[in-house]
Amino acid sequence: IEESEKFRIEYWELEEAKLRRMPAPKPLAARIALVTGAGSGIGKAIAHRLVAEGACVVVADLDGDNAAAVAEELGGPDKAVAVTVDVTSEEQIEAAFAAAVLAFGGVDLVVNNAGISISKPLLETTARDWDLQHDIMARGSFLVSRAAAKVMIEQKLGGDIVYIASKNAVFAGPNNIAYSAVKADQAHQVRLLAAELGEHGIRVNGINPDGVVRGSGIFAGGWGAQRAAVYGVEEAKLGEFYAQRTLLKREVLPEHVANAVFALTGGQLTHTTGLHIPVDAGVAAAFLR
């Protein structure tokens, strides 16, 4: 809380009054982040990176046990607190933000990462599949961003909202109508919120990963088997398959996505909003299949 107050006085008020422009972004070491889906995979790597940079993190996940384990790994209540939250619930999201304010005094960096993947061909995709996919990722990220914006606007410290979208937001992956459509929805949320929140010094950007097999609960929980069948490769060799189709011939790991969150929020990309950064080792630049 003291850090935030110091920042407000040193940077925000002075800079704004003197220069009549947006202030320098708050350094990561003084930031308070809330990461959804941080109990596993990409979200967990993001939480680790943010704490390594000095931020405090609220580890928010539907799986409370995983969230608690990650918060513990991150050093416990001084650096990280776990919150069990279903991002489809307005009440639980409000409670998660209230917990962040209670634990650390505010929130100025939010990562919309929670997700599932229902990956089926069109004729097998049920209305229920469609609704579940959209409830969690379209409605869920909208609700989280709305709660984030409310806190950030009140704080008058600016902030960052980052969406972990997907290469599938832009390119049509085979047999995953519900997942790809919801990722495109998230990508447009980025542009819409960048437009609406810019005047408050809130940047909204997206990251489009692809082929993060290792560490991903989504891949382990069925998506991997489905993708392996679509591409005609053994599931155990899926990471290698993805690596071979990239321009860099490298596997994308959760840490590489976390690096992009750092790039967007670490203080250098001060005038970047509404952007999507691919973290796919080059797949989107020369998309094959």
**Closest distance between ligand NAD and the C-beta of residue 22, in Å?**
29
Nearer to ligand NAD, 155 or 168 (CB): 168
**Closest distance between ligand NAD and the C-beta of residue 30, in Å?**
26
Residues near 203 by beta carbon (within 8 Å), at least 6 away in sequence? 25, 158, 159, 160, 161, 194, 264, 269, 272, 273
Nearer to ligand NAD, 157 or 253 (CB): 253
Residue least distant from ligand NAD (Cβ): 41
Is 11 tagged catalytic? no
**Closest distance between ligand NAD and the C-beta of residue 153, in Å?**
24
DSSP secondary structure letters along 76-99: STTTEEEEE--TT-HHHHHHHHHH
**Closest distance between ligand NAD and the C-beta of residue 247, in Å?**
17
Helix and strand counts by DSSP (H, E) for the chain: 12, 7
**Closest distance between ligand NAD and the C-beta of residue 44, in Å?**
7
Residues near 279 by beta carbon (within 8 Å), at least 6 away in sequence? 207, 208, 209, 210, 252, 256, 257, 259, 260
Active-site choice (11, 179, 231, 242): 179
Q: Where are the alpha helices (DSSP H) in the chain?
A: 2-7, 14-19, 41-52, 64-73, 90-104, 127-134, 140-155, 177-197, 217-218, 224-231, 238-244, 254-265
What is d(CA 225, CA 47) in angstroms, rounded to the nearest whole number? Answer: 27
What is d(CA 66, CA 252) in angstroms, rounded to the nearest whole number? Answer: 23
Length of the chain: 289
DSSP letter, residue 123? G
Nearer to ligand NAD, 36 or 155 (CB): 36
Nearer to ligand NAD, 157 or 228 (CB): 228
- Interface positions with ligand NAD (CB under 6 A): 36-37, 39-43, 61-63, 66, 85-88, 113-117, 136, 140, 164, 166, 209-212, 216-219
Nearer to ligand NAD, 39 or 159 (CB): 39
What residues are annotated to the active site? 179
